[in-house]
Amino acid sequence: MAAKKAVLVVEDDPASQLLTRTVLEQAGYEVLTASSADAALAQLDTRLPALILMDVDLPGRDGLSLTRLLKTMSPTTAIPVVALTSHSSLKHRQEAMASGCLGFIAKPIDVKSFATRVAEFIGEAGS
């Protein structure tokens, strides 16, 4: 049996974190969580996930500056980061991509398609 793929959800809103965790766990993922940039860095010291879902608005260091940092650090440089945010304008999407995000998922998430979108970013679509 293949090990579950881990996804790190960096999200400071408890309700959003719970919803994201629930949907991903039901889809068979191992979900790691962090509610701040510092907590995410600590989590990454112990486990490297297959994907990072990054809230843009975090307390302290924002998600895009954390993404830029992760893209300069080995071994996190190769981990895909997807922006997860309620800011869905073209400008915000461009900023996310410029910071190193592979993609963008708008909140509130669509619980019916969310796990499929995550699988596509991980490269598991259809498996």
Indicate whether 55 belongs to any domain.
Answer: yes
- Greatest distance between any 2 Cα atoms in the chain: 43
Q: What is the pTM of this model?
A: 0.93
Q: Are 66 and 36 in contact (CB under 8 A)?
A: no
Indicate whether 75 belongs to any domain.
Answer: yes
Q: What is the DSSP letter of 80?
A: -
Residue 127 clears pLDDT 70, i.e. is over it? no
pLDDT digits (tens, 9 = 90+) for 39-52: 999 999 999 999 99
Q: Are 80 and 123 in contact (CB under 8 A)?
A: no
The pLDDT mean for the chain works out to 92
Indicate whether 94 belongs to any domain.
Answer: yes
Indicate whether 76 belongs to any domain.
Answer: yes
Pairing of strands 6-10, 51-55: parallel
Which backbone phi and psi does 3 adopt, to 5 degrees? Answer: -70, 150
pLDDT at position 2? 60
Q: How many domains does the chain have?
A: 1
> What is the domain range of residue 108?
6-122
